[in-house]
Amino acid sequence: MTTPPTLASRLPDVGTTIFTRMSALAQQHQAVNLGQGFPDFDCDPALIDAVDAAMRAGHNQYPMMSGVPALREAVAAKLQRLYGHAYDAGREITITAGATQAIFTALLAIVHPGDEVIVLEPCYDSYAPNIQLAGGRVRRVPLDPHSFRPDFARIRAALGERTRAIVINTPHNPSGTVWSDADMRALAALLEGTQVLVISDEVYEHMVFDGQLHQSAARYPALAARSLIVSSFGKTYHVTGWKVGYVAAPAALTAEFRKVHQYNVFTVNTPMQHGLARYLDDPRPYLDLPAFYQRKRDLFRAGLARTPLRLLPCEGTYFQCVDYSAVSELPEEAFCDWLTREIGVAAIPMAAFGGADRHERVVRFCFAKRDETLNKALELLARL
């Protein structure tokens, strides 16, 4: 028999993601899936109509590598209207195949072998593998273990001669923490005079609650000048499966980003870009999003308050974290397995997002669900 070639893994410590595993387990046990972060309701029919109209109008071939001009112009106009920064649509906005591709491409564009990239843990699970694949070294800095806020003393201590970039995320997945104006100014002051770049993951930019403002890096000239800002139409418009996002960055950074983008994706689904450009003419869908998700957050939190689970703050995103110490001493992943099998509700363990210096026995629920889904989950969780 022929022996197949052996392969040294580029990611030897990485397996199937916890999100895939928990979704499969939820399906196996017919559990309510509050694990993976996607809505179980449809998007606005007007958005579907806009994409359908684009297809029927013949927008079905390759668009420009950087994205359909009308969509890039709409993104630039939105960023200026919301955050006051004027991006050049032609040279500083790129449409991407979702936010995860955008972050990976940004890291490939800026990281050289041996460069260090600071990540603030817990964090979205793609950051560290992306850095490793780019040949960089992950420098892990814990967020405050109780509030999940940035610890600037620790960030300062992590900065060094090899630091190429820092990845920030606000509103923060998984904790729901929102960075303040003071946080952003502190980051700008900390990086002043350095060559450190910022990858600012802002995919939940329109999900900020209780009257707070989203503090985009675009609001701060000193940060905007060194930042690649990432966002997601999928998160904003309830179409996560479309995988369309964008990156806003100064022209010099965008030029390097596009060098990589053209070879790992080249371009993005044409009719969806045209449909999104048309849909963005009306700002109400994203301006109304904070109230839409705050109502769901409040419904879910009110129900969870009647269980033994201890609520952690949720300032933004569509995730709610809880401490289950009063329910079980199981480790987080084992508890999520038990919760799915025995109670019928799927969650994600906080341990999946890294960070040892933090709360223990914490899991994350997604409340981007229909009210009936949330109420069914709450009815099941009431058995705890």
pLDDT in tens, the chain (384 residues): 688 888 888 988 887 788 888 889 999 999 999 998 899 999 999 999 999 999 999 999 999 999 999 999 999 999 999 999 999 999 999 999 999 999 999 999 999 999 999 999 999 999 999 999 999 999 999 999 889 999 999 999 999 999 999 999 999 999 999 999 999 999 999 999 999 999 999 999 999 999 999 999 999 999 999 999 999 999 999 999 999 999 999 999 999 999 999 999 999 999 999 999 999 999 999 999 999 999 999 999 999 999 999 999 999 999 999 999 999 999 999 999 999 999 999 999 999 998 765 558 999 999 999 999 999 999 999 999
- For residue 143, the SS3 value is coil
Report pLDDT for 358: 56
Report pLDDT for 356: 61
Shared domain check, 348 and 242: no
Shared domain check, 253 and 304: no
With 0-12 / 13-18 / 19 or more C-beta atoms within 10 angstroms meaning exposed / middle / buried, residue 123 is: buried
| DSSP H or E segment with residue 181 | helix 181-191
Residue from 166, 184, 182 nearest 123 by CA: 166
- Whether 91 is in a domain gets the answer yes
Domain of 264? 45-282
Among all chains, which residue has been given the structure tokens 């995103």? 317
pTM score above 0.85: yes
Question: Among residues 243, 260, 282, which one ends one of the domains?
Answer: 282
Shared domain check, 303 and 253: no
Whether 330 and 363 have beta carbons less than 8 Å apart is answered as: no
Which CATH number does the domain housing residue 94 bear?
A: 3.40.640.10
State the Cα–Cα distance between residues 370 and 374, nearest whole angstrom.
6
One DSSP character per residue, 286-338 reads HHSHHHHHHHHHHHHHHHHTTSSPEEPP--BTTEEEEE-TTT--S-HHHHHHH
β-partners of residue 348 are 364
CA trace torsion 365, 125, 212, 210 (10° rounding): 0
Report pLDDT for 235: 97
State the Cα–Cα distance between residues 184 and 196, nearest whole angstrom.
15
